[in-house]
Structure 1
Amino acid sequence: MGLCVSRQDDDDDSAHFIMADGNVHLITTVAAWEEKLLQAKQQDKIVIANFSAAWCGPCKMIASYYSELSRKYTSLMFLTIDVDELPDLSTSFDIKATPSFFFLKNGKEIDKLVGSNKAELQKKITAIADAQGWT
């Protein structure tokens, strides 16, 4: 599921999990996904869904920055989904590369970013937060 330009097959433990730190919620089931979307809708929050993979080097590189952003922009909901753990959900979003960030309002896509471009991720998050008056 998904392509990662810099796939790394190293044996360290960090290659075997997806980082969820700060205010990032790791989604491991479809039920958890649906629960978080409902919660975001009730709280009028924009969801940023990071479709990632444990084996993806760029995913690992941007994970700490994503966590840092989650601590700064607490009015947004940050989720991480492992494409290999939830392939049906990943397929429903037509994930072709990791990481892929989807910005959702009321469960509907309002923007997306494919790749681990920190500056572009920051720009999109700032624009969304500013548009909502949440900065």
Structure 2
Amino acid sequence: MEFENGNVHVISTKEGWDEAISEAYENGKIVVANFSASWCAPCRSIAPLYGEMSEKFPSLTFVTVDVDKMMELSSSWEVRATPTFFFLRDGRQLDKLVGANRTELLQKVAALADPSTRSSQRSPSH
């Protein structure tokens, strides 16, 4: 999957995955991991938004994993449908979103990027 804009790291090896997770951990960043496939129409439709979010929220690390090229990694994360988005802190899952729900993806990413919500997994009620 190609991203014409943004700062999305395309992961094509297990080492690349480990490096991205480790770098995010060292920098105190949350990882947004997009498990997708080149043949998946919903994956292609949400790719431009994903790229835009990577520019809008530089405090997060955005990666994408092709499930066909990285079957073992996809299986270890129990990816059953594409796209599946995982939100990770220190390599551990904070949240998950299955499907190309633009509104929900944007809400989850915006909440994680907001430093006031970083201390807990839930956004405070206002």
- Counterpart selection for 1:54 from 34, 38, 43: 38
What's the counterpart of residue 96 of structure 1?
Answer: 80
**Matched pairs, number:** 116
Q: Which amino acid aligns with 1:84?
A: D
Measured after TM superposition, the shift of residue 132 of structure 1 is: 3.0
What's the counterpart of residue 118 of structure 2?
Answer: 132
What's the counterpart of residue 27 of structure 2?
Answer: 43
TM-score by length of 2: 0.89
SS in 2 for 1:58: helix
- Counterpart selection for 1:107 from 84, 88, 91: 91
SS in 1 for 2:39: coil
Matches within 5 A, 1:15-26: 18-20=1-3, 21-26=5-10
5+ residue gaps in structure 2?
120-126
Measured after TM superposition, the shift of residue 49 of structure 1 is: 0.3
What's the counterpart of residue 103 of structure 2?
Answer: 119
Structure 1 runs of 4+ with >4 Å offset: none
Matched, 1:78 2:56: no
Aligned-residue Cα RMSD (Å) equals 1.1
TM-score by length of 1: 0.84
